Amino acid sequence: MTDTTGIAITGVSGRMGQMLVHEVLQNPHTHLAGAIERAGHDWVGRDLGACMGVADLGLLVTDDPLEGIKDAQAIIDFTAPAATLEFATLAAQAHAVHVIGTTGMTNEQIATLEPAARHAVIVRAGNMSLGVNLLTQLTKRVAAALDDDFDIEIIESHHNQKVDAPSGTALMLGEAAAEGRGVALGDVSDRGRDGITGARKRGDIGFTAIRGGDIVGEHDVLFAAAGERIVLRHVASDRNVFARGALKAALWGQGRTPGQYDMLDVLGLSEN
Protein backbone atom coordinates (compact mmCIF):
# COMPACT_ATOMS: atom_id res chain seq x y z
CA MET A 1 0.00 0.00 0.00
CA THR A 2 2.78 2.45 0.83
CA ASP A 3 4.23 2.08 -2.67
CA THR A 4 1.02 3.29 -4.31
CA THR A 5 -0.47 6.77 -4.54
CA GLY A 6 -3.28 7.53 -2.13
CA ILE A 7 -6.30 9.10 -3.80
CA ALA A 8 -9.07 10.99 -2.00
CA ILE A 9 -12.33 11.41 -3.91
CA THR A 10 -14.75 14.24 -3.25
CA GLY A 11 -18.45 13.92 -3.98
CA VAL A 12 -17.93 10.19 -3.80
CA SER A 13 -21.61 9.23 -4.05
CA GLY A 14 -22.07 10.85 -7.47
CA ARG A 15 -21.81 9.05 -10.79
CA MET A 16 -18.32 10.35 -11.41
CA GLY A 17 -17.30 9.75 -7.82
CA GLN A 18 -18.28 6.09 -7.99
CA MET A 19 -16.56 5.62 -11.34
CA LEU A 20 -13.41 7.12 -9.84
CA VAL A 21 -13.61 4.64 -6.97
CA HIS A 22 -13.68 1.74 -9.42
CA GLU A 23 -10.78 3.18 -11.43
CA VAL A 24 -8.65 3.71 -8.31
CA LEU A 25 -9.33 0.17 -7.08
CA GLN A 26 -8.42 -1.33 -10.46
CA ASN A 27 -5.22 0.66 -10.94
CA PRO A 28 -2.11 -1.09 -9.56
CA HIS A 29 -0.46 2.28 -8.82
CA THR A 30 -3.20 3.74 -6.62
CA HIS A 31 -5.24 3.08 -3.51
CA LEU A 32 -8.23 4.79 -1.92
CA ALA A 33 -7.13 7.12 0.86
CA GLY A 34 -10.30 9.11 1.44
CA ALA A 35 -13.99 9.30 0.50
CA ILE A 36 -15.66 12.67 1.09
CA GLU A 37 -19.31 13.70 0.96
CA ARG A 38 -21.24 16.76 2.02
CA ALA A 39 -22.50 17.06 5.58
CA GLY A 40 -25.87 15.38 6.10
CA HIS A 41 -25.48 12.90 3.25
CA ASP A 42 -26.73 9.42 4.19
CA TRP A 43 -23.42 7.83 3.14
CA VAL A 44 -21.47 9.70 5.83
CA GLY A 45 -20.14 7.40 8.55
CA ARG A 46 -20.77 4.22 6.55
CA ASP A 47 -18.33 1.92 4.77
CA LEU A 48 -17.83 3.10 1.20
CA GLY A 49 -18.15 -0.40 -0.25
CA ALA A 50 -21.44 -1.03 1.52
CA CYS A 51 -22.78 2.28 0.23
CA MET A 52 -21.90 1.28 -3.32
CA GLY A 53 -23.44 -2.17 -2.96
CA VAL A 54 -20.16 -4.09 -3.02
CA ALA A 55 -17.99 -5.72 -0.37
CA ASP A 56 -16.79 -3.55 2.49
CA LEU A 57 -13.67 -1.57 1.59
CA GLY A 58 -12.61 -0.69 5.12
CA LEU A 59 -12.94 3.02 4.38
CA LEU A 60 -15.63 5.18 5.95
CA VAL A 61 -17.21 8.04 4.06
CA THR A 62 -16.56 11.31 5.87
CA ASP A 63 -17.94 14.83 5.73
CA ASP A 64 -14.70 16.20 7.23
CA PRO A 65 -12.40 17.20 4.34
CA LEU A 66 -9.35 17.27 6.61
CA GLU A 67 -10.01 13.70 7.66
CA GLY A 68 -10.64 12.69 4.08
CA ILE A 69 -7.37 14.02 2.67
CA LYS A 70 -4.96 13.45 5.55
CA ASP A 71 -3.49 10.27 4.04
CA ALA A 72 -3.84 11.27 0.38
CA GLN A 73 -1.23 12.34 -2.12
CA ALA A 74 -3.89 13.46 -4.58
CA ILE A 75 -7.48 14.72 -4.47
CA ILE A 76 -9.82 14.22 -7.41
CA ASP A 77 -12.62 16.75 -7.36
CA PHE A 78 -15.73 16.80 -9.55
CA THR A 79 -18.00 18.81 -7.27
CA ALA A 80 -19.23 22.42 -7.33
CA PRO A 81 -17.24 25.66 -7.64
CA ALA A 82 -17.58 26.80 -4.03
CA ALA A 83 -16.60 23.37 -2.70
CA THR A 84 -13.68 23.14 -5.11
CA LEU A 85 -12.23 26.41 -3.82
CA GLU A 86 -12.33 25.05 -0.27
CA PHE A 87 -10.67 21.80 -1.35
CA ALA A 88 -7.98 23.79 -3.17
CA THR A 89 -6.96 25.49 0.05
CA LEU A 90 -6.83 22.19 1.94
CA ALA A 91 -4.92 20.45 -0.86
CA ALA A 92 -2.35 23.24 -0.85
CA GLN A 93 -1.89 22.89 2.90
CA ALA A 94 -1.38 19.14 2.48
CA HIS A 95 0.86 19.62 -0.62
CA ALA A 96 -1.40 17.15 -2.41
CA VAL A 97 -2.08 17.17 -6.13
CA HIS A 98 -5.53 18.64 -6.76
CA VAL A 99 -7.23 17.38 -9.92
CA ILE A 100 -10.20 19.60 -10.72
CA GLY A 101 -12.90 18.42 -13.09
CA THR A 102 -15.49 20.81 -11.66
CA THR A 103 -17.24 22.89 -14.32
CA GLY A 104 -19.19 26.13 -14.09
CA MET A 105 -16.41 28.09 -12.38
CA THR A 106 -16.32 31.82 -13.11
CA ASN A 107 -13.13 33.61 -14.12
CA GLU A 108 -13.05 35.18 -10.66
CA GLN A 109 -13.25 31.77 -8.99
CA ILE A 110 -10.53 30.38 -11.24
CA ALA A 111 -8.32 33.34 -10.35
CA THR A 112 -8.64 32.54 -6.64
CA LEU A 113 -6.90 29.21 -7.24
CA GLU A 114 -3.59 31.00 -7.78
CA PRO A 115 -2.52 31.17 -4.10
CA ALA A 116 -3.12 27.42 -3.71
CA ALA A 117 -1.10 26.72 -6.86
CA ARG A 118 1.95 28.28 -5.22
CA HIS A 119 2.05 25.36 -2.80
CA ALA A 120 0.59 22.41 -4.70
CA VAL A 121 0.06 21.02 -8.17
CA ILE A 122 -3.37 21.86 -9.59
CA VAL A 123 -4.53 20.11 -12.75
CA ARG A 124 -7.74 21.73 -13.95
CA ALA A 125 -9.56 20.92 -17.17
CA GLY A 126 -13.06 21.24 -18.55
CA ASN A 127 -12.63 17.73 -19.89
CA MET A 128 -10.19 14.99 -18.94
CA SER A 129 -10.37 12.84 -22.07
CA LEU A 130 -7.56 12.39 -24.57
CA GLY A 131 -9.91 12.87 -27.51
CA VAL A 132 -11.30 16.19 -26.35
CA ASN A 133 -7.85 17.58 -25.67
CA LEU A 134 -6.78 16.59 -29.17
CA LEU A 135 -9.94 18.31 -30.43
CA THR A 136 -8.92 21.44 -28.53
CA GLN A 137 -5.59 21.56 -30.33
CA LEU A 138 -7.23 20.96 -33.70
CA THR A 139 -9.76 23.72 -33.01
CA LYS A 140 -7.00 26.20 -32.26
CA ARG A 141 -5.11 25.33 -35.44
CA VAL A 142 -8.14 25.43 -37.71
CA ALA A 143 -9.28 28.75 -36.23
CA ALA A 144 -5.82 30.18 -36.85
CA ALA A 145 -5.90 29.03 -40.47
CA LEU A 146 -9.33 30.47 -41.30
CA ASP A 147 -10.35 34.13 -41.30
CA ASP A 148 -13.59 35.74 -40.14
CA ASP A 149 -15.36 34.61 -43.32
CA PHE A 150 -15.84 31.40 -41.33
CA ASP A 151 -18.32 31.71 -38.48
CA ILE A 152 -17.46 29.53 -35.48
CA GLU A 153 -20.21 27.77 -33.56
CA ILE A 154 -19.69 25.33 -30.68
CA ILE A 155 -22.57 22.91 -30.19
CA GLU A 156 -22.59 20.77 -27.05
CA SER A 157 -25.02 18.09 -25.89
CA HIS A 158 -25.32 16.59 -22.41
CA HIS A 159 -27.76 14.69 -20.19
CA ASN A 160 -30.78 16.42 -18.71
CA GLN A 161 -29.30 16.60 -15.20
CA LYS A 162 -26.35 18.82 -16.12
CA VAL A 163 -26.66 22.12 -14.26
CA ASP A 164 -24.26 24.43 -16.12
CA ALA A 165 -24.18 25.74 -19.68
CA PRO A 166 -22.20 26.09 -21.80
CA SER A 167 -20.28 23.04 -20.66
CA GLY A 168 -16.73 23.36 -19.41
CA THR A 169 -15.58 21.53 -22.51
CA ALA A 170 -17.46 23.92 -24.80
CA LEU A 171 -15.81 26.87 -23.09
CA MET A 172 -12.42 25.18 -23.40
CA LEU A 173 -13.03 24.77 -27.12
CA GLY A 174 -14.17 28.38 -27.36
CA GLU A 175 -10.98 29.54 -25.67
CA ALA A 176 -8.95 27.47 -28.13
CA ALA A 177 -10.78 29.00 -31.11
CA ALA A 178 -10.33 32.50 -29.74
CA GLU A 179 -6.65 31.90 -29.08
CA GLY A 180 -6.23 30.64 -32.62
CA ARG A 181 -7.73 33.89 -33.90
CA GLY A 182 -5.73 36.04 -31.51
CA VAL A 183 -8.75 37.45 -29.67
CA ALA A 184 -10.19 37.22 -26.17
CA LEU A 185 -13.19 34.91 -25.89
CA GLY A 186 -14.93 37.37 -23.59
CA ASP A 187 -14.93 39.94 -26.40
CA VAL A 188 -16.44 37.67 -29.07
CA SER A 189 -18.59 35.16 -27.18
CA ASP A 190 -22.22 34.83 -28.30
CA ARG A 191 -24.06 32.65 -25.79
CA GLY A 192 -27.73 33.47 -26.11
CA ARG A 193 -30.13 33.98 -28.97
CA ASP A 194 -33.84 34.47 -28.44
CA GLY A 195 -36.32 36.58 -30.34
CA ILE A 196 -35.24 39.17 -32.89
CA THR A 197 -31.50 39.10 -32.35
CA GLY A 198 -30.36 40.62 -35.60
CA ALA A 199 -27.73 39.21 -37.92
CA ARG A 200 -24.78 37.35 -36.49
CA LYS A 201 -21.81 39.60 -35.75
CA ARG A 202 -18.76 38.85 -37.87
CA GLY A 203 -16.01 37.22 -35.83
CA ASP A 204 -18.22 36.09 -32.97
CA ILE A 205 -17.84 32.60 -31.48
CA GLY A 206 -21.28 31.16 -30.80
CA PHE A 207 -22.39 28.54 -28.28
CA THR A 208 -25.40 26.23 -28.41
CA ALA A 209 -26.29 23.94 -25.50
CA ILE A 210 -28.52 20.88 -25.85
CA ARG A 211 -29.82 18.99 -22.81
CA GLY A 212 -31.65 15.68 -22.99
CA GLY A 213 -31.86 12.08 -21.83
CA ASP A 214 -28.63 10.41 -20.78
CA ILE A 215 -26.23 11.95 -23.31
CA VAL A 216 -22.73 11.59 -21.86
CA GLY A 217 -21.13 14.35 -23.89
CA GLU A 218 -21.00 15.42 -27.53
CA HIS A 219 -19.11 18.45 -28.85
CA ASP A 220 -19.04 19.86 -32.37
CA VAL A 221 -16.95 22.81 -33.51
CA LEU A 222 -18.53 24.19 -36.68
CA PHE A 223 -16.64 26.47 -39.04
CA ALA A 224 -19.20 27.75 -41.55
CA ALA A 225 -18.60 30.00 -44.57
CA ALA A 226 -20.47 30.66 -47.78
CA GLY A 227 -20.53 27.39 -49.69
CA GLU A 228 -18.65 25.18 -47.24
CA ARG A 229 -18.51 23.93 -43.66
CA ILE A 230 -15.89 22.19 -41.55
CA VAL A 231 -17.05 20.21 -38.51
CA LEU A 232 -14.72 18.86 -35.82
CA ARG A 233 -16.47 16.40 -33.51
CA HIS A 234 -15.94 14.38 -30.34
CA VAL A 235 -18.47 11.94 -28.85
CA ALA A 236 -18.07 10.40 -25.41
CA SER A 237 -20.17 7.28 -24.90
CA ASP A 238 -18.69 6.22 -21.55
CA ARG A 239 -17.96 8.48 -18.57
CA ASN A 240 -15.06 6.24 -17.64
CA VAL A 241 -12.92 8.16 -20.13
CA PHE A 242 -13.13 11.15 -17.78
CA ALA A 243 -12.35 9.06 -14.70
CA ARG A 244 -9.34 7.46 -16.35
CA GLY A 245 -8.06 10.85 -17.47
CA ALA A 246 -8.45 12.30 -13.97
CA LEU A 247 -6.54 9.40 -12.44
CA LYS A 248 -3.80 9.82 -15.04
CA ALA A 249 -3.57 13.48 -14.05
CA ALA A 250 -3.32 12.60 -10.34
CA LEU A 251 -0.39 10.26 -11.01
CA TRP A 252 1.28 12.66 -13.44
CA GLY A 253 1.25 15.43 -10.84
CA GLN A 254 3.28 13.51 -8.28
CA GLY A 255 6.65 15.22 -7.77
CA ARG A 256 5.85 18.11 -10.13
CA THR A 257 6.63 21.72 -9.32
CA PRO A 258 3.64 23.50 -7.76
CA GLY A 259 1.56 25.42 -10.26
CA GLN A 260 -1.50 25.28 -12.46
CA TYR A 261 -1.57 22.71 -15.25
CA ASP A 262 -4.14 21.25 -17.63
CA MET A 263 -4.67 18.00 -19.49
CA LEU A 264 -2.57 19.20 -22.41
CA ASP A 265 0.38 19.19 -20.01
CA VAL A 266 -0.56 15.75 -18.68
CA LEU A 267 -0.88 14.30 -22.18
CA GLY A 268 2.25 15.99 -23.52
CA LEU A 269 0.23 18.09 -25.96
CA SER A 270 1.07 21.50 -24.54
CA GLU A 271 2.79 23.88 -26.93
CA ASN A 272 4.49 25.74 -24.08
Low-confidence ranges of the chain (pLDDT < 70): 1-2, 271-272
Q: Residue 251 has what pLDDT?
A: 98
Task: Supply the pTM of this predicted model.
Answer: 0.81
Q: Residue 271 has what pLDDT?
A: 67
Q: Residue 103 has what pLDDT?
A: 86
pLDDT digits (tens, 9 = 90+) for 10-36: 999 999 999 999 999 999 999 999 999
**Catalytic residue from among 41, 70, 159, 162:** 162
In angstroms, the first-to-last Cα distance of the chain is 36
Q: In the predicted model, what is the mean pLDDT of the chain?
A: 95
pLDDT digits (tens, 9 = 90+) for 223-271: 999 999 999 999 999 889 999 999 999 999 999 999 999 999 999 887 6
158 counts as catalytic:
yes
**Catalytic residue from among 158, 219, 234, 248:** 158
The full DSSP string for 93-111 is HHT-EEEE------HHHHH
The full DSSP string for 121-183 is EEEE-S---HHHHHHHHHHHHHHHHS-TTSEEEEEEEE-TT---SS-HHHHHHHHHHHHHHTS
162 counts as catalytic:
yes
Q: Residue 1 has what pLDDT?
A: 47
- Domains and their CATH numbers in the chain: 5-124+239-266 (3.40.50.720), 130-236 (3.30.360.10)
